Amino acid sequence: MSRLRFDAVEAAFSKKPLEVRMDERPDKYFARNVFDRAKMKEYLSAESYDRMVRVMDKGDVPDATTIEDVADAMKRWAVSRGATHYTHWFSPLTGTTAEKHDAFIEPDGNGGVIETFSAKLLTQQEPDAASFPSGGIRSTFEARGYSAWDPTSPAFLIGHTLCIPTIFVAYTGEALDYKAPLLRSLRAVDSAAVKVCSLFNPDVTRVHSYLGWEQEYFLVDEDLYMARPDLILTGRTLMGHESAKSQQLDDHYFGAIPERVAAFMHDLEIEALALGIPAKTCHNETAPNQFEIAPIYEECNLAVDHNMILMSLMKNVARRHGFRVLLHEKPFKGINGSGKHCNWSLGTDTGIQLMAPGKGAEDHLRFITFVVNTLAAIYRHNGLLKASVMSAANTHRLGGAEAPPAIISIFLGSEISSVLDHIENSDNFNLKGKRELKLDIPQIPELLIDNTDRNRTSPFAFTGNRFEFRAVGSEANCASAMIALNSAVAQQLGMFKADVDALMEGGEEKEFAIVKTLRKYIKFSKPIRFDGNGYSDSWKKDALGRGLDCETSVPLIFDSYLSEETVRMFSGVKVLNESELKARNAIKWSTYTKKVQIEARVMGDLAINHIIPIATGYQTSLLDNIIKMETLLGKEEGDRLSKENIETVTAIARNVSDIRRLAELLIEKRKVANLIPDVREKAVAYHDEVAPVMEEIRNHIDELELMVDDQMWTLPKYRELLFF
Ligand code: ADP
Ligand code: MG
């Protein structure tokens, strides 16, 4: 009954599958649903088109006429594609995306309607900001928050709705979302990197940050999912004994993709391509029923939007195939969790990949300069980088057997390491002429780098022409990590340039000034370099000795956002001010609390209403059997033959009684925690007091799962969820 009703609601919301003809090739339907440059060219006047190109490529501000023209063009294009509504699409701090759909129709004054879309509606709207977390930036009586058009990310169509990417800010200008600070951080790294590039390539006028994400996820059969209230309400299994077979055979990674999954992937890929997401790779991941989709990298802001679009797309497409997609970082205990590796690099408007070794010695010095500055930035802000990827869910994944620990370090590979060591240790640069200096830095052949042995255990690895940030969680908005990374690198590049300038003002030649400054930062950032096994226990001790941030408690990890260093850095590069940072942390802490609270409630309900009745039901049937055996064979003989059953009855009784006691305790702990007024302290209490009790309850439930009659156990087990 309830299932039926659920389906009806879902059907009403689920979006119609995209229709692509059998003979259509990807180059034909790529970006079909995007108001991209080709459509702008077709629908805009020549002047407006040229202006928009400058807006997108050079960061110009669009003028009123252009905006008017764009609004009208967007509407005409969208309507020609059957759209009836539009929405400002934004990323509030809830971590998901928000949209409020409005129809294009307006009264025409004669009792009818016309479809219009004005510049005003395109540029700015006022969603009910009170419904989104603001961390106290906006007091409740001042509920104003604005969404404002981001002309650098193209509008797109989903179903009958034209979606316009926007930032979301308070009326005071403070950011209430991820996109506003992301754009600021991209501007910061752009301007700092251009200044550093001026030492090498004065013709560079813009530096872009690039992002290529790899989205991991699990698929679960929809009917099984529906029978797991914990999956429905928390996104992960709160209980479940390990399956006899899980991932020990390593037979899933890159294995043959099951037909039903392949059909899902095929659909997903087509829809992603039609939305301009350059989906390229789809494959099985390590764990059973775990998969990955990765597009070709793009400019960071666009890549972030594309990832947010893809995550909602996946959910819709999965339902059409009778699956549910799990984006939670650790849906199943004991097997791999899901991450979202973020491949990051910088590149210039003149086509230089700044994180790739170039051809000549000059290129090479530039490459080393950007690598070393990245090292220094990450070292200085390693606690912040970790905080930027941390969440109630990702904490279960980091430090598991499959993911990097909750310590940020960088893998460089032997080639780059030896170049850095060489620069660090040779102090004869001053004695040599310019020519020798150039020759004295060992060159790294491009090919060699591409083949560097990749250290899969590193949370932040150099992989040939980019860095790969692997600690990011599968469900996260990657903007959070990208804001921290780009801002930290922007700050560091600024410091580097200032140091080089000072040396040059003191009469030092440019190359010497650069190498001297590099040497300083190579020494400074040494503790962040680690090429060993990040999963090993010895690394945890080593890292502590190096002074790296080794905190594991989520609420305390968030403290890094408010450290003096962080506040100085973010305000220095004009990405987030102190009040924005405080507000964001308040949201982080309260989100953490709420997530654990929901899990604790679901755990309590399941334990008391599902598990205990099932376990006692089975216990009763055993007792019944024992008594009947006694009746038939006499007490002594009956009990002798019922020995195992009697033991099981006792074991069930013990577990049930422990579960009851712990469920009570869980409620007590919550009551105490809920009275704590301070958001941070409350989150700490949820972490220290509430979460551990849930783990204990789980252990008892998992034990019961092994004892109780399989027929009576109503929750689908791991072996079913993971192997269909
Ligand atoms: P792997 O799983 O071996 O890391 P994938 O092919 O799955 O490799 O993913 C690599 C990702 O890195 C892709 O999204 C790719 O487009 C991206 N990438 C490649 N070069 C760069 C670069 N210079 N900057 C940013 N991302 C890049
Ligand atoms: Mg990767």
**209 close to ligand 1 (CB < 6 Angstrom):** no
Query: Can you give the three-state secondary structure of 614-679, one letter per residue?
Result: HHHHHHHHHHHHHHHHHHHHCHHHHHHHCHHHHHHHHHHHHHHHHHHHHHHHHHHHHHHHHCCCCH
CB of 345 shorter than 6 A to ligand 1: yes
pLDDT classification of 282: cutoffs 50, 70, 90: confident
pLDDT at 445 (0 to 100): 56
Nearest to 68 by CA among 148, 124, 150, 123: 123
Are 386 and 408 in contact by the 8 Å Cβ rule? The answer is yes
The tokens for 275 are 């939305």
Read off the pLDDT of residues 67-126 as tens digits, 9 standing for 90 and up. Answer: 999 999 999 999 999 999 999 999 988 888 888 888 999 999 999 999 899 999 999 888
Q: How far is the CA of 687 from the centre of ligand 1 (A)?
A: 35
**How close is the Cα of 591 to the center of ligand 2, in Å?**
29
List residues bridging with 326 in a β-sheet.
Answer: 218
For 512-525, write each residue's pLDDT tens digit.
999 999 999 999 99
CA distances 298 to 87, 149, 279, 508, Å, are 24, 20, 11, 39
pLDDT at residue 17 above 90? Answer: no
Report how far residue 630's alpha carbon sits from residue 177's, in angstroms, rounded to the nearest whole number: 69
Ranked by mean pLDDT, which of 116-125, 277-286, 693-702 comes out on top?
693-702
pLDDT, position 589: 97
**Ion ligand 2 nearby residues (CB, 5 A):** 341
pLDDT at 140 (0 to 100): 46
Q: What is the DSSP string of 295-320?
A: E--EEHHHHHHHHHHHHHHHHHHHHH
pLDDT score at 7: 39
Taking CA atoms only, the protein residue closest to ligand 1 atom 17 is 212
The predicted-structure confidence for 537-549, as pLDDT tens digits, reads as follows 899 899 999 999 9
Query: Is the CB of 216 inside a 6 Å radius of any atom of ligand 1?
Result: no
Tokens of 326: 């799990």
Residue 665 has pLDDT above 50, yes or no: yes
Which ligand 1 atom sits closest to the C-alpha of 356? 23
CATH 3.30.590.10 residue spans of the chain: 187-576
Least confident of 22-36, 214-228, 565-579: 22-36
Span 433-438, average pLDDT: 44
Cα 450 to ligand 2 centre (Å): 13
Superfamily of domain 31-176: Glutamine synthetase, N-terminal domain (3.10.20.70)
Q: What percent of the chain has pLDDT over 70?
A: 90
- Burial class (CB within 10 angstroms; exposed 0-12, middle 13-18, buried 19+) of 477: buried
Q: How far does residue 297's CA lie from ligand 1's centre (Å)?
A: 6
φ/ψ bin of 413: left (φ > 0), alpha (ψ from -120 to 50), beta (otherwise): left
Strands (DSSP E) contained in 91-135 are 98-103, 105-107, 113-115, 124-125
Residue with the nearest Cα to atom 8 of ligand 1?
A: 214
Q: By C-alpha distance, which of 427, 401, 418 is closest to 537? A: 401
- Which ligand is the nearest neighbour of the Cα of 294? 1
pTM of the complete model? 0.94
- 344 alpha carbon – ligand 1 mean position (Å): 8
At the topology level, CATH places domain 187-576 in: Creatine Kinase; Chain A, domain 2 (3.30.590)
User: Which tops the pLDDT comparison, 45 or 255?
Assistant: 45
Question: Using one digit for the tens of pLDDT, what is the confidence trace for 588-638?
Answer: 999 999 999 999 999 999 999 999 999 999 999 999 999 999 999 999 999
The answer to which of 8-12, 103-107, 267-271 has the lowest mean pLDDT is 8-12
C-alpha 173: how far from chain center = 25
The mean pLDDT of 579-586, rounded to a whole number, is: 95
Amino acid letter, 490: A
Sign of the alpha-carbon torsion through 72, 76, 77, 79: positive
The predicted pLDDT at position 9 comes to: 37
User: For 547-577, how does the pLDDT look when each residue is reduced to its tens digit (9 = 90+)?
Assistant: 999 999 999 999 999 999 999 999 999 999 9
Q: How far is the CA of 301 from the centre of ligand 2 (A)?
A: 19
Q: Is 127 in the pocket of ligand 1 (CB under 6 A)?
A: no
| Closest ligand, as measured to the CA of 470 | 2
Nearest CA owner, ligand 1 atom 2: 214
- Residue 141: pLDDT band by 50, 70, 90 thresholds? very low
Q: Which residues of the chain does CATH 1.20.120.1560 include? A: 591-721
The ligand 1 atom nearest the CA atom of 465: 23
Average pLDDT value for the chain: 90
The number of angstroms, rounded, from the C-alpha of 135 to the middle of its chain's C-alpha atoms is 21
Q: What is the pLDDT of residue 446?
A: 55
Ligand 1 atom nearest to CA at 345:
24
pLDDT at 535: 85
Q: Express each pLDDT in 37-55 by its tens digit.
A: 999 999 999 999 999 999 9
Ligand 1 pocket member 625 (CB < 6 A): no
Percentage of residues of the chain with pLDDT beyond 90: 75
* Candidate of 208, 211, 214, 446 to mutate for ligand 1, largest count of ligand atoms within 8 Å of Cβ: 214
**pLDDT band, residue 435 (cuts 50/70/90):** very low
Kindly report the number of other CB atoms within 10 A of residue 720's CB atom. Answer: 16
Q: Is pLDDT above 90 for 355?
A: yes
Ligand 1 midpoint to CA 417 (Å): 22
Lowest mean pLDDT among 334-348, 368-382, 402-416, 469-483: 402-416
Whole-angstrom Cα distance, residue 103 to residue 516?
A: 61
Q: Which atom of ligand 1 is nearest to the CA of 212?
A: 14
452 lines ligand 1 (CB under 6 A): no
Which residue among 215, 253, 348, 466 has the greatest number of ligand 1 atoms within 8 angstroms of its CB, and so is best to mutate?
466
| Atom of ligand 1 minimally distant from the CA of 463 | 4
Whether the pLDDT of residue 5 is over 90: the answer is: no
The C-alpha atoms of residue 388 and residue 13 are separated, in whole angstroms, by 33
Range with the lowest mean pLDDT among 147-156, 291-300, 416-425, 619-628?
416-425
Is the model's pLDDT at 35 over the cut of 60? Answer: yes
The pLDDT of residue 137: 74
Amino acid at 329: E
| Phi, psi of 328, rounded to the nearest 5 degrees | -55, 145
Which ligand approaches the C-alpha of residue 281 most closely? 1
Of the ranges 270-284, 352-366, 628-642, 694-708, which one carries the lowest mean pLDDT score? 352-366
Within the chain, all domains assigned CATH 3.10.20.70 are found at 31-176
Q: Probe ligand 1: pick from 281, 283, 297, 344, max atoms within 8 Å of CB?
A: 297
Check if 353 has its Cβ closer than 6 Å to any atom of ligand 1.
yes
**What mean pLDDT do residues 492-497 have?**
98
* Residues 75/118, Cβ–Cβ less than 8 Å: no
Q: How far apart, in Å, are the Cα atoms of 427 and each of 310, 430, 495, 515, 667? A: 51, 7, 22, 10, 64
Nearest ligand to residue 297 Cα = 1
pLDDT at 144 over 80: no
CA–centroid distance, 556 to ligand 2, in Å, is: 29
Residue among 285, 299, 306, 343 to mutate when testing ligand 1 (max atoms within 8 A of CB):
343
More confident residue, 129 or 379: 379
CATH class of 591-721: mainly alpha
